[in-house]
Amino acid sequence: MRVAFLYPGQGTQRPGMLHDLPDHPAVAAALAEAERVLPGSARQDGAEALASTVTAQVALCVAGVASAGALLAEGVIPDAVAGHSSGAFPAAVAAGVLTFAEALMAVRRRGELMRDACPSGYGMAAVLGLSIPQVRRLVESAGTEGEPVYLAIVNTDHQAVVSGSDAALERLAAAAAQAGARRVQRLDVSVPSHCPLLARVADAMADHLAALPRRRLRVPYLGGATGRLLHDSGAVLDDLARSVATTVRWRDGIALLGELGTAVFIQTPPGHVLARIAQAAHPRARVITLADTRVTDAAALARGLHSP
């Protein structure tokens, strides 16, 4: 395994993210297709628009598909694709499981369901500097039946994300600070993703995706809920539906990609979060972010034509 594409999820969105996408014909084509499928989806990247979980997830899908399309047009074919949270949908497009139009409609539906499931009083927070067992213990002590909190994402051995009610997140943040956490930061996410609070969303998404055709994968897809490579479209669609209500095992997935010999990780816009995690886990790998690398340069580096 040589090249893996990494797609960031909600929380990484930023104003201007769609206008700052690479200047490339494949990006322009993807933006035009997004406009045909969901009018306005290729332009809605202002701060006010991105405050909506629906708009943010759609924008991230557009950014991921458009950027990866530019890499594909330049001859970079991934050996695996991995999407973090909502980034799983553009990853599924690259894997050949979804069309771009199907992904856009599914992401919009997902965002609407998440928004309606927990309209206020919930969110997510990153906990940095504590071990995963420590975070698990904090989750157990901070949550109550009426104010729950859950371990939502395991990014690294010392970086986790928790989901739950605002009150429980505040209690956990205070306890984490006392336990020696380097930082506890609320994410720009207004819903408690990747936890049982969204079990009904997972069921509804499973129904939505069940109507789609099963296609042969072009490349393996890293499952968020399993941290393993999936090679069957039915398994990918199940992961897309169910991962919204289960813990994301990103640490395990990135470790696996390294064990399989991935030499180049390329993160699509926006930001650098996934690139940093991959670089920390695999210091000898080449890690590229399209947020600050031209597509043609990234393609050349991925093909090994020259060194940076």
- The DSSP secondary-structure symbol of 247 reads -
Beta bridge partners of 186: 125
Report the CATH superfamily, name and number, of domain 3-117+196-302. Answer: Malonyl-Coenzyme A Acyl Carrier Protein, domain 2 (3.40.366.10)
pLDDT tens, position by position, for the chain (308 residues)? Answer: 699 999 999 989 999 999 999 999 999 999 999 999 999 999 999 999 999 999 999 999 999 999 999 999 999 999 999 999 999 999 999 999 999 999 999 999 999 999 999 888 999 999 999 999 999 999 999 999 899 999 999 999 999 999 999 999 999 999 999 999 999 999 988 899 999 999 999 999 999 999 999 999 999 999 999 999 999 999 999 999 999 999 999 999 999 999 999 999 999 999 999 999 999 999 999 999 999 999 999 999 888 743 44
The radius of gyration of the chain from alpha carbons, rounded to an integer in Å, stands at 18
- The DSSP secondary-structure symbol of 7 reads E
pLDDT value of residue 34: 98
Task: Tell me if 139 sits within 8 A of 150, measured CB to CB.
Answer: yes
In angstroms, the CA 236 to CA 230 distance is 6
Q: Which residues contact 279 (CB under 8 A, 6 or more apart)?
A: 265, 285, 287
- The DSSP secondary-structure symbol of 245 reads G
Active-site hit among 67, 85, 165, 243: 85
Q: Which residues contact 221 (CB under 8 A, 6 or more apart)?
A: 80, 81, 82, 91, 92, 95, 97, 229, 230, 231, 236, 239
How wide is the angle at C-alpha 231 spanned by C-alphas 228 and 236, nearest 5°? 75
Q: Which amino acid, residue 300?
A: A
pTM metric for this prediction:
0.95
Q: Where are the domains of the chain?
A: 3-117+196-302, 122-186
Assigned CATH class of 122-186: alpha beta
Both structure tokens of 134:
């420590």
Distance of CA 133 to the CA centre of its chain: 23
DSSP string across 259-278: HTT--EEEEPSS-SHHHHHH
Instruction: Count other C-beta atoms under 10 Å from residue 232's C-beta.
Output: 13
In angstroms, the CA 189 to CA 198 distance is 14
CATH topology match: 3-117+196-302 vs 122-186: no
- The DSSP secondary-structure symbol of 214 reads P
Active-site hit among 194, 208, 233, 243: 194
Task: Tell me if 109 sits within 8 A of 208, measured CB to CB.
Answer: yes
Residue found by looking up tokens 């306005």 in the block: 40
Asked if 306 is an active-site residue, the reply is no
pLDDT value of residue 2: 92
Asked if 84 is an active-site residue, the reply is no
Closest CA to 126 of 9, 282, 292: 9
pLDDT value of residue 304: 77
pLDDT value of residue 1: 66
In angstroms, the CA 201 to CA 245 distance is 8
Sign of the Cα torsion 14, 18, 23, 25 reads positive
pLDDT value of residue 303: 81
